[in-house]
Each structure stands twice: as structure tokens, then as C-alpha cells.
Structure 1
């Protein structure tokens, strides 16, 4: 990656995909195949992030509640999230 991740390191993946859609609003700059391919976990061949993680919309919400809002597990559960994935 050679530092390529740094500018977007703290942006949730769902927002990264929204940014990609914005970039492609007038013409395809980021390949459509890149945007529809499941992100690899990059731990072992053919492993996908969602093999061991929840869908990104749920994961991003839980991370935001934990990091941005400082909520406890009980508070997240009270909001309807099953944080024991």
C-alpha cells in the first residue's frame, strides 16, 4: 500500500463506497468491478471480510457507537444491536 491507505484510514467502509459513487457520478473513474467485488480480508487466500465480520453497515454503526459515542456494549444492545457477532 505504501501509504495509500492513510488518507482514508479512519473513514468507515460504507462511506468509502459512497465517496467512490460520488467520484463516479459523471463517468467511471473507479472500476465498477472494484466496487462490486467483496473486499478481501487479506489474511489468507479467498477469505472475505464478511466471513468473520458482520455486514459493513452494521459493523460501521457499532464502531461509530463505540469509538465516536463511547457507548458500552449494554448501551449498544439497548439500541438493538447484537454486538456478539
Structure 2
């Protein structure tokens, strides 16, 4: 489970993107401008390559509010994506 509490914060994301990994999942959180509004963009991919090398069609992204609640929702979204991909066979 991805838990970024105490590791990444909104003040950090104002200055820099954050990249990380959890098992086979790679991800990136960054501040973006959407229609003159600051948003938090979360992106994940499954290949074992860095952000610069992964193909755009392999990236999965979503936007969230650029605040603490948006950061929590982004982490929840990443965890849900991981669980969906790694669901045990029934």
C-alpha cells in the first residue's frame, strides 16, 4: 500500500514533482495548470522505466485539487489502481 504521509506535501509539490514506486507500479505527482487553476496531476505506469522513458500511451493520469485533500485522493486513486491490477485470480 502506498502511504506518503510525512514524505510528500503540498509545499513540496509547489516546487517539484514527486516520483515513486510500489512493487511493479511507478508513479508521479506534480502541480499542473488547468485553465489557470493549480491542480495536482497523478500519473502511474507499470513498466520498470523512469518517467522520461515510459511511453505516453502507457501512462494513466487523473487530476485532483491542489490541496491536502487532493493529495489524499490521489494516493487513494493510486492504491485503487494497484489493487485493481493485482487482484488475485478467483
TM-score bin (small chain):
under 0.3
> Which one has the bigger strand percentage?
2
If the length of structure 2 is used for normalisation, what is the TM-score? Answer: 0.24
> Which one has the bigger helix percentage?
1
If the length of structure 1 is used for normalisation, what is the TM-score? Answer: 0.25
Query: Relative contact order (alpha carbons < 8 A, sep ≥ 6): 1 or 2 greater?
Result: 2
